[in-house]
Amino acid sequence: MEHKALSHILKFEPILKEKIWGGTKLHKVLNKASENPNIGESWEISDVEGDYSVVNSGPFKGKTLKELLEQFGETLVGKKNYTRFGNKFPLLIKFIDAKEDLSVQLHPDDIIAKKKHNSLGKTEMWHIVQADPNANIIIGFNQKVNQEVYQKHVTEKDITAILNYEPVTEGDTFFVYSGLIHAIGKGVMLAEIQQTSDITYRVYDWDRTDANGNSRELHQEEALEAIDFTTEKEYKVQYNTQPNELASMVKCEHFTTNVIEVAQELSLNHETYDSFVIYMCVKGEVTISSIENEFTIKQGETVLVPASINNVTVKGTKGKLLQVYV
């Protein structure tokens, strides 16, 4: 089936998620429309069942990402992605505000997720947008750990003794591969790019309870099957930026992420990507335009450029964008 071309840049209504650990930064700093004191996540682009993103302006206002995929197919996502994923959008894009520590957790890879949940696995990356003084994340172990050592610490509720605490500041970036134990620490706000999956295996939740005294479910057996005990893989991303030049951050089978500090007007060519391209504004503001339309996006806003648009112009004086494609 031949799909007609989609020539408009798309912007979606954020889907805000209340969380036990959420705060007010998404509203106060990123201008998300909610006075709720516990908003933990803003889903910027989502094809998760029950949480389909809806276009918020222009000729496709009110259409869901799922409807657009069915209508435009490879002209939205690119030929190779359409062959690989069909009418499923492969990425979930978020901003996260941790007022309190998130649970210590990990995610399954594609093989386990397919077998157990009929889902994609969850490899993700974090880019720190803002961090309070002395904020940190948990990522990986602080020593060589095997299954026996791990299970002993889980049983004794002493797992934090073997976890690696990493201090973070604005601009730090981490690659969180499936199976890697991790937690976002309190005081951290970040941009998250991940496979379209909402599967999390919690192993420790700081013994907290909700307003009714209930603890959140833990998933010890599932986590044990999915966990990666090796610490050889590098998870902190090293990158160097030059004004108006794309700098590589992460390149994996699930997504490629570059960063660009926009200090003037420049043209970006997407022709070789054969993919949609997502731009997340993580600092300042930037105007992104195609032949058909343009958006000025501020820190905390996101747009989706369909695969059928080969060139966009970006302009700004002190803006910083993450560029994501598959």
**Residue 202 annotated among the catalytic residues of the structure:** yes
Are 143 and 201 part of one and the same domain? yes
- Strands in 201-204's sheet, in edge-to-edge order, are 163-167, 136-141, 182-184, 104-106, 201-204
Residue at 3 is within a domain: no
Are 281 and 314 part of one and the same domain? yes
Determine the average pLDDT of the residues in 205-221: 90
Please name the residues in contact with 171: beta carbons below 8 A apart, sequence gap of 6 or more.
127, 128
Paired tokens of 133: 């003084």
The residue type at 112: I
Residue at 237 is within a domain: no
pLDDT for 3-19, tens place per residue?
778 999 999 999 999 99
Residue at 9 is within a domain: no
pLDDT at 35: 86
pLDDT at 3: 77
CA dist., res. 114 & res. 117, Å (int): 6
Are 195 and 301 part of one and the same domain? no
pTM, rounded to two decimals: 0.96
The residue type at 81: N
The SS3 call for residue 159 is helix
Q: Is the pLDDT of residue 1 over 70?
A: no
Residue at 5 is within a domain: no
pLDDT at 156: 92
Number of domains in the chain: 2
pLDDT at 2: 65
CB 51 within 8 A of CB 31: no
Q: Is 315 exposed, middle or buried (0-12, 13-18, 19+ CB in 10 A)?
A: middle
Give DSSP secondary structure letters for 238-279.
P----BTS-EEEEE-SS-EEEEEEE-SEEEEE-TTT-S-EEE
Are 205 and 255 part of one and the same domain? no
Lookup result for tokens 């998130």: 102
pLDDT for 67-118, tens place per residue?
999 999 999 999 999 999 999 999 999 999 999 999 999 999 999 999 999 9
Are 167 and 262 part of one and the same domain? no
Residue at 234 is within a domain: no
Are 212 and 136 part of one and the same domain? yes
Are 97 and 143 part of one and the same domain? yes
Are 203 and 304 part of one and the same domain? no
CA dist., res. 321 & res. 285, Å (int): 9
Are 71 and 203 part of one and the same domain? yes
Beta-bridge partner residues of 246: none
Which residue in 84, 202, 208, 216 is the catalytic one? 202
Percent of the chain residues past pLDDT 90, beyond the cut: 92
Residue at 58 is within a domain: yes
Are 137 and 188 part of one and the same domain? yes
pLDDT for 29-73, tens place per residue?
999 999 899 999 999 999 999 999 999 999 999 999 999 999 999
pLDDT at 107: 96
Residue at 121 is within a domain: yes
pLDDT at 95: 98
Are 186 and 314 part of one and the same domain? no
Residue at 232 is within a domain: no
pLDDT at 233: 82
Q: Is the pLDDT of residue 196 over 90?
A: yes
Determine the average pLDDT of the residues in 267-289: 97
CA dist., res. 39 & res. 18, Å (int): 4
Are 129 and 91 part of one and the same domain? yes
CB 40 within 8 A of CB 120: no
pLDDT at 5: 83
Identify the CATH number of the domain in which residue 108 sits. Answer: 2.60.120.10
Q: Is the pLDDT of residue 142 over 90?
A: yes
Percent of the chain residues past pLDDT 70, beyond the cut: 99
Average pLDDT of the residues of the chain: 95
CB 324 within 8 A of CB 91: yes
Paired tokens of 107: 């995610």
Say which DSSP state 187 is in: T
| Alpha-helical regions (H) of the chain | 25-28, 65-72, 74-77, 79-85, 110-117, 147-155, 220-226
pLDDT at 4: 78
Quote the domain boundaries for residue 87. 15-226
CB 100 within 8 A of CB 216: no
